Amino acid sequence: MHRPLIAANWKMNKTIGETEDFIHSFLAMIKDVDDVDILIAPPFTSLSVASSLLENTTVRLAGQNVFYEEKGAFTGEISPSMLLSAGCSHVIIGHSERRQYFSETDEIVNKKIKIARKNGLEVILCIGESLQEREEGKTFDVLSRQLTGSLKDVPLEGLTIAYEPIWAIGTGKTATPEQANEAHAYIRQWLRDYGEGSERVRILYGGSVTPENIKSLMAEPEVNGALVGGASLKPDSFARIINGAREATV
């Protein structure tokens, strides 16, 4: 059984002050949690202050993106060593919003994963189908294509997969626990066929996770955690999701 991982993706939300307020309240709410891994991906500008406030806690930090070069003339981009020096242990790569608004292809995602792993960052790779692809019965084809392209020549160590159906992200429409489990089971089998270390990879569900639906999602055998957007922005809501995940997995 995998230890659950509950990760917050704040996207382009929260100033430095708002980050400080969140962390002060949140830490008081989760002080007894020792059976779930917790990760927060704030905007880059909040990483440093978050890292100081989270020192001596078990809450880890992730970047929301990384560039595929080590350094140089890439205005506006951020390197793996910058993320590490700002306190990150992880980075989210291939989020559907990056693919949609910034034209990230599986090839770019693959380059980003490679440089992140080379620098020792753990990677949360996001994959998932659109509504049209699901309705056309292409979900597994899309997942297979994204996994094949993104993980080309990448060992599975240090990797987490987030299954995030695009139609469920920020829409209030959650995949049913059965739909999530079915997709996760497909991903798990794909990883087994791909290579060594597949059983250690955690597969998170993402897409309108809330305190109300986390328990039924986490009750599914193939769901090892969640990547949470909107509902991670309030300390109380994120803490309730963490507690729901704990209750579902005892």
What are the residue numbers of the active site? 95, 164
Q: Could you tell me the smallest distance in angstroms from the CB atom of residue 4 to ligand PEP?
A: 16
Query: Other C-beta atoms within 10 Å of 144: how many?
Result: 15
Q: Could you tell me the smallest distance in angstroms from the CB atom of residue 71 to ligand PEP?
A: 28
Nearer to ligand PEP, 116 or 228 (CB): 228
Q: Specify whether the CB–CB gap between 163 and 187 falls below 8 A.
A: yes
Nearer to ligand PEP, 9 or 224 (CB): 9
User: What is d(CA 212, CA 35) in angstroms, rounded to the nearest whole number?
Assistant: 20
User: What is d(CA 46, CA 8) in angstroms, rounded to the nearest whole number?
Assistant: 14
Q: Could you tell me the smallest distance in angstroms from the CB atom of residue 56 to ligand PEP?
A: 28
Closest to 159 measured CA to CA, from 202, 199, 99, 119? 202
Q: Identify residue 248 by its one-letter amino acid code.
A: A
Nearer to ligand PEP, 23 or 209 (CB): 209
User: What is d(CA 39, CA 44) in angstroms, rounded to the nearest whole number?
Assistant: 15
Output DSSP code: residue 2: P
Q: Could you tell me the smallest distance in angstroms from the CB atom of residue 34 to ligand PEP?
A: 25
User: 78-113 b/e with 16+ CB inside 10 Å = b?
Assistant: bbbebbbebbbebbbbbbbbbbeeeebebebbbbbb
Cα angle, residue 180 at apex, residues 34 and 90 outer, rounded to 5° = 45
Output DSSP code: residue 170: T
Q: What does the binding site for ligand PEP look like in residue numbers (CB under 6 A)? A: 9, 164, 169-170, 206-209, 227-231
User: What is d(CA 43, CA 22) in angstroms, rounded to the nearest whole number?
Assistant: 13
Nearer to ligand PEP, 80 or 206 (CB): 206
Q: Could you tell me the smallest distance in angstroms from the CB atom of residue 228 to ligand PEP?
A: 5
Nearer to ligand PEP, 93 or 227 (CB): 227
